[in-house]
Structure 1
């Protein structure tokens, strides 16, 4: 494994940003039960993820080693289990101790939860078929640290595997704690990768104002008329293998 980068203040800054965000936001806004728009976004994201991985040639997640960086309370890892991933092959890395504790409480015991800075995580190079980063890079504002984190994640990926990046594409002028991650930034972070990417997620401020019955039709129709209303991007960033990969 390559040498561990020198200590950085960015992990502490990220933790402070999340603390400010948690204090300012209503948790119900992201509840799949309480918020129809959050549920719509999650279901759309899972369908897109499934399509990307099926096109990649993965007809089952059984036996695939996967790690999520910034796993929060474990919702995405739980989704992977429901899609057929083996709990013993899953790992979550989480910077915030309270969120890591929630993930440990909610997920099967076989899932490994590792608290702390992801750059220090003891993951062997080439050991993971997929590394997930869901709304992660948008909270990492230091360019050097963001680049180092992407490089470390790339080291963990086995040839033929990839990094799954889901993040919003533009910044929020009312929130200086986040920064948009457009496709060109994903390309910069993972040079030489094969990238399949698509726009997703009806703009949350708009989606939250729509009646639940209109959410699915609006998510299907509005982007065709006004593409900018899809504010996020799901990218499957593939590490080339010695043999040609199927197109995704």
Structure 2
């Protein structure tokens, strides 16, 4: 999709990601190169598994799951490792080059859809889980953020939910992102039953620590955790 065909906020998000990709060191996010990135991923996967097992899901097999803003497919790969069925996974990605990278990484039965998520052909009530990982923090327009949250909520079947992973504080060095505290998640999903936990040792701190100290530091310094994983559940008798 050409940027000129996008609505103003998706077009702005595309420009923000382009600036971010140009400025950031890819090694910081490489699971092979960065011990802190690997530690954060392992912590997040454990938390996801715990949340979903507490929700009553003994397996991800048979569940329909969509990720909005799937990037190059890393989170979808993690879902496959946790037992999700590739034919029941969808990835939605705004940026063409990232969507193409996801298609190359993932099994061909995983559907990767390119373009504005508000226009995605996902049937209402068809998904057991919708993921938004570091997505809302990149959307600075409040109305568009709310519209996307409403759309995601419509995709979720009763008994399922939206899983939001995002940082909770503003980054003074990056005006292109905005923290998403728990109060904002509650505003975006006002009818949800919320379960949430703080995760992820502050990346600037984590990158300075030796690998053996990362897990203990994450446990002993809860005030230094900068992200939150929130499971927003649509109850079996949902409000409108």
TM-score interval w.r.t. the shorter chain? over 0.9
Contact 1:167–1:181 under 8 Å retained in 2: yes
1:182 to partner: Cα distance: 0.2
1:217 to partner: Cα distance: 1.1
2:18 corresponds to = 19
1:137 corresponds to = 136
Aligned equivalents of 1:155 and 1:191: distance in 2? 13
2:140 aligns to what SS in structure 1?
coil
Contact 1:8–1:145 under 8 Å retained in 2: no
Contact 1:67–1:93 under 8 Å retained in 2: yes
User: What do the CA deviations read for 1:26-83 (whole angstroms, capped 9, x no partner)?
Assistant: 1111000000000000000000000000000000000000000000000000000000
1:8 to partner: Cα distance: 3.0
Alignment map for 1:132-171 (pairs within 5 Å): 132-171=131-170
Structure 2 unaligned residues grouped into runs of 5+: 1-5
2:221 aligns to what SS in structure 1?
helix
Aligned equivalents of 2:160 and 2:88: distance in 1? 14
1:99 aligns to what SS in structure 2?
helix
1:216 to partner: Cα distance: 1.0
1:43 corresponds to = 42
Asked if 1:101 corresponds to 2:100, the answer is: yes
Aligned equivalents of 1:213 and 1:59: distance in 2? 32
Structure 1 unaligned residues grouped into runs of 5+: 1-6, 244-248
Q: How many matched pairs?
A: 233
1:242 to partner: Cα distance: 3.3
Aligned-CA RMSD value: 0.9
Alignment map for 1:175-190 (pairs within 5 Å): 175-190=174-189
1:133 to partner: Cα distance: 0.2
Aligned equivalents of 2:198 and 2:218: distance in 1? 11
Aligned equivalents of 2:237 and 2:117: distance in 1? 28
2:225 corresponds to = 230
Question: Normalised by the size of structure 1, how large is the TM-score?
Answer: 0.93
Question: Normalised by the size of structure 2, how large is the TM-score?
Answer: 0.96
User: What do the CA deviations read for 1:106-145 (whole angstroms, capped 9, x no partner)?
Assistant: 0000000000000000111000000000000000000000
Aligned equivalents of 2:221 and 2:130: distance in 1? 31
1:129 aligns to what SS in structure 2?
strand
Alignment map for 1:73-92 (pairs within 5 Å): 73-92=72-91
2:100 aligns to what SS in structure 1?
helix
Asked if 1:54 corresponds to 2:53, the answer is: yes
Contact 1:138–1:167 under 8 Å retained in 2: yes
